[in-house]
Amino acid sequence: MYNRKFLVSCLCALLGATTPVKSQNRPSPFLKNVSLAVYSVVAADKGRCTIDLKALNTAIDLVANQSTKPKLINEREHHERGQELVDKASEAGRKFDAARTDAEMAMAKKAWDEAIEASSKYSAAPSLLLVLDVFELKSGGCVGDVSASVTAMLKQSEMISTGQVISHPHEVIWRSGSLLITPSNLFSREVIETSKNMLKSFVNDWTLSQQK
């Protein structure tokens, strides 16, 4: 197993500057018709290489709120709306149970099926995860490994090699990353700016994907 911190330190010594790996003009068939993504942020916090988490979350929320297509929401919003759809599906099920005539049952069953489908699709919306790994350099500088990925939930599948059923397989449908090397006094600001641009990059790639 490679030591990631050692590898990053070697890169820092070689590069000595910001080395972004950007997502630019990358349409993807997997992003087409995606209307919603649920975003979350995981950030490390190390000594002098501290990230201002309040400023980071504020910046990410601002970018997300500016995007209407696709719609980007946080996990709390997703949970609240998801519960509303579950309740709606439950209510539709009760109406189906209460139906008496064939016509009433047919209409109620259709409404119930639609409510279940809407709830299922919403709960399985792609997730956008932003991960910020932090490393301190002996020289006094900071390294930020900033990565973003969008993961989609798939239908039940199985392993080719063993036939083992996987109930909820996932697939990464978009990713981007940047390696930042900066003085500690600039680190938090650079990480936040890079994170914002990464989110904007996803929106740009999504837009390009709708044109294909």
pLDDT tens-digit readout, 140-168: 899 999 999 999 999 999 999 999 999 99
Once rounded to an integer, what is the mean pLDDT over residues 196-203?
Answer: 94
- Residue 26 pLDDT: 79
- How is the beta sheet containing 170-183 ordered, strand by strand? 19-21, 170-183, 141-153, 127-136, 36-43, 71-74
Q: Which two tokens stand for residue 90?
A: 């439950």
| pTM for the full predicted model | 0.83
Ordered alpha helix ranges (H), 67-183:
75-98, 102-123
C-beta of residue 162 within 8 angstroms of C-beta of residue 189: no
Q: What is the pLDDT of residues 119-132, one digit of tens each?
A: 999 999 999 999 99
The answer for residues whose C-beta is within 8 angstroms of residue 192's C-beta and 6 or more apart is 51, 52, 55, 56, 59
The predicted-structure confidence for 103-119, as pLDDT tens digits, reads as follows 999 999 999 999 999 99
Where residue 12 falls among pLDDT bands split at 50, 70, 90?
A: very low
User: Could you tell me if 143 and 8 are in contact, meaning their C-beta atoms sit under 8 angstroms apart?
Assistant: yes
- What residue has token string 């069953």? 109
Does the N-terminal peptide bond of residue 183 adopt cis geometry, omega within 30 degrees of 0?
Answer: no
Separation CA 101–CA 93 (nearest Å) = 16
**CA distances in angstroms from 120 to 8, 155, 164, 173, listed in the order given:** 41, 11, 24, 19
Residue 99 has a pLDDT of 93
11/97: higher pLDDT: 97
